[in-house]
Amino acid sequence: MKRRWAVLLAILGLLFLLASQWPDQRLHLIVCNVGQGDAILLTQGFSQVLIDGGPDDKVLGCLSRHLPFWDRRVELVLLTHPESDHLTGLVDVLRRYRVRYFGLNNFGKQTPAFRRLARTLNDHKIRTFQPRQGMKIRVGLMYFDVIWPDQIAIKERQVILDNKQKWQGFPVIKDSDFNANDYSLTVRLAFGRFSALLTGDLSRESSLPLIWRRQLPQALVLKVPHHGSRNDNPPELYQTVRPRLAAISVGKNNYGQPAPQLLRFLDGRGIYYWRTDRDGELELVSDGRRWSILSPRPRRWGRVGK
């Protein structure tokens, strides 16, 4: 009799655990707190997308908190550019989760972190592709428009890469060759009326021409480029995108980021901003019409726009 009750309680406990982790159909946008780096997790129903993986394995904690314990598949991983603070954690993700597609700029750097990533992609036979401007990607009810890089930038970069060393099929470059941030993958996410512009470390040299050509769209949420650096966050970017929320993924006491000038500018325009170094992990949720912040509100924060 006692054994039956124990089995029944175990079953009820398992059912309760399944129910508590059963995903809803809303969009969840999580800016993981990974220190000085980027990792953004997007979930909608049973569909998951991860953009960048941070500088170490902290991203695994973010995934375990927000994905059901039985779901070990990630439909899409995007690497914005081959810098260690964006790619290092992806190696552990590829080893622990079944990744269906992996999008990257198809070039790497002569660093141990990129070599591990390229080897893992090949060892696990993960399908890779190169996002480019105009490409549209759908995962569940999440729609992504690739804003940058465009075909001209890809061709210009290929001229530089033609004579470079290859590793696991990827051209690899030296740090002194050019700025990888110039080719940082930038996508606009749409879920119903909700939108977010996710920029990686998009440089000023790339964002300004997009603005002048009117190719940079508006969005409710902007992932602030390059951890809030002064040089890569021109005022024109915010005047064009017109975000209500600026999310800054940054570590503590790193390179003077986010720049005080940027924070004063955001305050002056009434744009709410969230800093992972001070405010921790950020989670937004949207039903496609309204959106809100699920994370605990910090004591000190940026202003909220209208």
Q: What is the mean pLDDT of each run of 10 residues along the chain (306 residues)?
A: 61 49 84 96 97 97 94 96 96 97 89 94 95 95 95 66 69 72 96 98 95 96 96 97 97 87 94 94 96 76 44
Could you list the residue range(s) of the whole structural domain that residue 30 is in?
24-293
Residue 105 tokens, joined: 């700029």
Count of alpha carbons within 13 Å of 88, Cβ hemisphere only?
Answer: 16
On whether residue 232 sits in a domain, the answer given is yes
CA distances to 83, 118, 152, 176 from 113, in Å: 8, 9, 28, 17
On whether residue 73 sits in a domain, the answer given is yes
Q: β-strands 136-139, 221-223: how paired?
A: unpaired
258 cis-preceded (ω within 30 degrees of 0) = yes
Instruction: Look at the chain and report how many structural domains it folds into.
Output: 1
Q: What pLDDT, on a 0 to 100 scale, did the predictor assign at position 134?
A: 94
Q: What pLDDT, on a 0 to 100 scale, did the predictor assign at position 304?
A: 38
On whether residue 160 sits in a domain, the answer given is yes
Q: What pLDDT, on a 0 to 100 scale, did the predictor assign at position 167?
A: 74
pTM, two decimals, is 0.89
Is the four-CA dihedral 170, 90, 110, 185 of positive or negative sign?
positive
On whether residue 2 sits in a domain, the answer given is no
On whether residue 98 sits in a domain, the answer given is yes
Q: What pLDDT, on a 0 to 100 scale, did the predictor assign at position 16?
A: 47
Q: What pLDDT, on a 0 to 100 scale, did the predictor assign at position 17?
A: 47
On whether residue 12 sits in a domain, the answer given is no
On whether residue 283 sits in a domain, the answer given is yes
CATH code assigned at 167: 3.60.15.10
Q: What pLDDT, on a 0 to 100 scale, did the predictor assign at position 296?
A: 77
On whether residue 5 sits in a domain, the answer given is no
Q: What pLDDT, on a 0 to 100 scale, did the predictor assign at position 92?
A: 97
